[in-house]
Amino acid sequence: MGGTLTVDVAPVLGETGATMEVDADVPLESIAVGDTSATFSSPPRLRVTIANAGEVIVLTGSVEATARLECSRCLESFNLGITGSIDAVISSAHPSDEHDEDQEWYPLEGKTVDLLAAAESALRVEVPFAPVHDEECSGICPICGCDLNRDRCTCEPEGGERPDSPFAALKDLLPPEDD
Ligand SMILES: [Zn+2]
Ligand SMILES: [Zn+2]
C-alpha cells in the first residue's frame, strides 16, 4: 500500500503524564489475511490516546471499520463491522527487558510516529479466516454449483449423502440397522 499515518506527538513529549487524543481516517483500502481479503469502501477510523508515561509513550484505543468480505461458503459479498483494539508503546529505541511482550512497539521518529502499522495490525486480527455471510449459510452445491441458499437441486454426491447434510448427522444418532 505504501501509505502512512504520521502523527506529531510533540505535544506530549516534554511532560510525563501529558496526553493527546487522535481521531483520524486510516489510509487503508484492504487487508489480506491468508486466503481472505477484506476491503474497506470507506477508510477505517482510528481513535487513540497517546500518553507520556515517562520511559515510553503509551498508545491505547481502537480502530473501527466496515470490511467487505466474501462468504467462504457461497461466495456472496457481505459487510462486517470490525473493531480492533490497540495497546502499544512508542519509543525511539526498542524497549528492553521490563517491556510487556504482548504490547506492540512502534518507533518514535524525531517527534512523529507512523500509526498505519498499528491500525492495520489491530484490524488484521479481527478479520475472520473463513468468513460466512450468515452462520446458517448453506453454501454452494459442489456438483452443480447452485447457491443452496436460494436454489434447490437434486444432486447426489458419489458415495451417498453430502457429509455435512443434516441427514448424515441424524444417521449417526440412530442405532445401526440389523441385518
Ligand atoms: Zn454464504
Ligand atoms: Zn447440485
In this structure, which ligand is nearest to the CA of 137? Answer: 1
Side chain identity at 150, as an amino acid letter?
R
In this structure, which ligand is nearest to the CA of 139? Answer: 1
pLDDT score for 159: 57
pLDDT score for 101: 67
Query: Measured in angstroms, how far is the CA atom of residue 68 from the centroid of ligand 1?
Result: 13
DSSP 115: -
Residue 1 has pLDDT above 50, yes or no: no
In this structure, which ligand is nearest to the CA of 75? Answer: 1
Residue 105 has pLDDT above 60, yes or no: yes
Confidence of residue 15 (pLDDT cuts 50, 70, 90): very high
How does pLDDT run across 29-54, given as a tens digit for each residue?
A: 999 988 899 999 999 999 999 999 99
Contact 75, 66 (CB under 8 A): no
Mean pLDDT of the chain: 88
Domain ranges of the chain: 6-124, 138-179
Residue 177 has pLDDT above 70, yes or no: no
What's the first-to-final CA gap in the chain, in angstroms? 65
Grid coordinates of 33:
489475511
Please tell me whether residue 158 adopts helix, strand or coil conformation.
Answer: coil
Confidence of residue 163 (pLDDT cuts 50, 70, 90): low
How does pLDDT run across 124-161, given as a tens digit for each residue?
A: 999 999 999 999 999 999 999 999 999 999 998 665 55
Which residues neighbour ligand 1 (ion) by CB within 5 Å? 71, 73-74, 76, 133, 137
Where is pLDDT greater, at 78 or 94?
Answer: 78
In this structure, which ligand is nearest to the CA of 134? Answer: 1
